[in-house]
Amino acid sequence: MFSLAGKSAVITGGASGIGRAIVQRFIKAGAQVLLADRMASGADIAEELNCSFLQLDVSVEEEVSNLVDEAMRRLGKLDILVNNAGIQPLGIDFAALTPAILHRTFAVNVNSVAYGIKHGARVMQTGARILNTGSFVGLLGTPSGTAYAASKAAVIHLTKLGAIELAPRGITVNCVCPGTVLTPAVTDIPNNPEIPFVSRRTPLRRLAQPTEIAAAFHFLASDDAAYITGAALPVDGGITAGWEAYPVLPPENVQLGRWCDPPTA
């Protein structure tokens, strides 16, 4: 089930975290993969995983265009494009926001997705998949997320726009919105306060594993997801479902069974 045999895929930000888990999952499902990443160490990871590698900066349109052309040259076609590369400047409220933080966050997280949709669509055929990495903070207002949360909300909207525009060609565009995931971006921060904070507020009471996020990408990349487009799928342990604790007691009249509808006149 969910075979990717015969499919060719590009995953940006594929050298670590969620991206690496997607690369591994796609290869196991039978896909040919081009791993793209800013880090030169991605070459060693690609060799270890037995896939192709290209180093690039996804915020530069010419490099994204070249990535698509390289995929066509090396893989012969492009069936699946995963716009996953991103940066995560957390703890930035409006007072701390600077032009540099805002510009770089949107350049990497938002512009790259727009370029990916633009240039992926240039070569993709009917049945192709474009998948973007959003975040639960793009669905839910979060404090101190001015640049990052806004960028992920933009990714979700670009997903919808791409889905509408490419639907006549039979190309689907979807977005996976992870909760906080146990990737190096999270776990490598000493005493990271995000880990206990999010764990307490997530109904499942834990953070996600990268493999759990990759599973959602795998399904959306498969032929079984052919009728899904424009979706923003939360994979977040329930954190965007709503408050799972609301310590408000009902008023006295309700407790005593004397609640009634308000008068109509």
Identify the three-state secondary structure at position 213.
helix
The answer to whether the beta carbons of residues 155 and 138 sit under 8 Å apart is yes
> DSSP letters along 17-83, please?
HHHHHHHHHHHHTT-EEEEEESSTTHHHHHHHHT-EEEE--TTSHHHHHHHHHHHHHHHSS--EEEE
Kindly name the residue from 115, 148, 227, 246 that is annotated as catalytic. Answer: 148
Tally Cβ neighbours within 10 Å of residue 48: 9
Distance CA 223, CA 218 (A): 10
The answer to whether the beta carbons of residues 65 and 119 sit under 8 Å apart is yes
Distance CA 86, CA 227 (A): 27
Identify the three-state secondary structure at position 147.
helix
The answer to whether the beta carbons of residues 55 and 106 sit under 8 Å apart is no
The answer to whether the beta carbons of residues 219 and 231 sit under 8 Å apart is no
For residue 84, with 0-12 CB atoms within 10 Å meaning exposed, 13-18 middle and 19 or more buried, which class applies?
buried
Please say if 227 is a catalytic residue. no
Which residues are known to be catalytic? Answer: 148
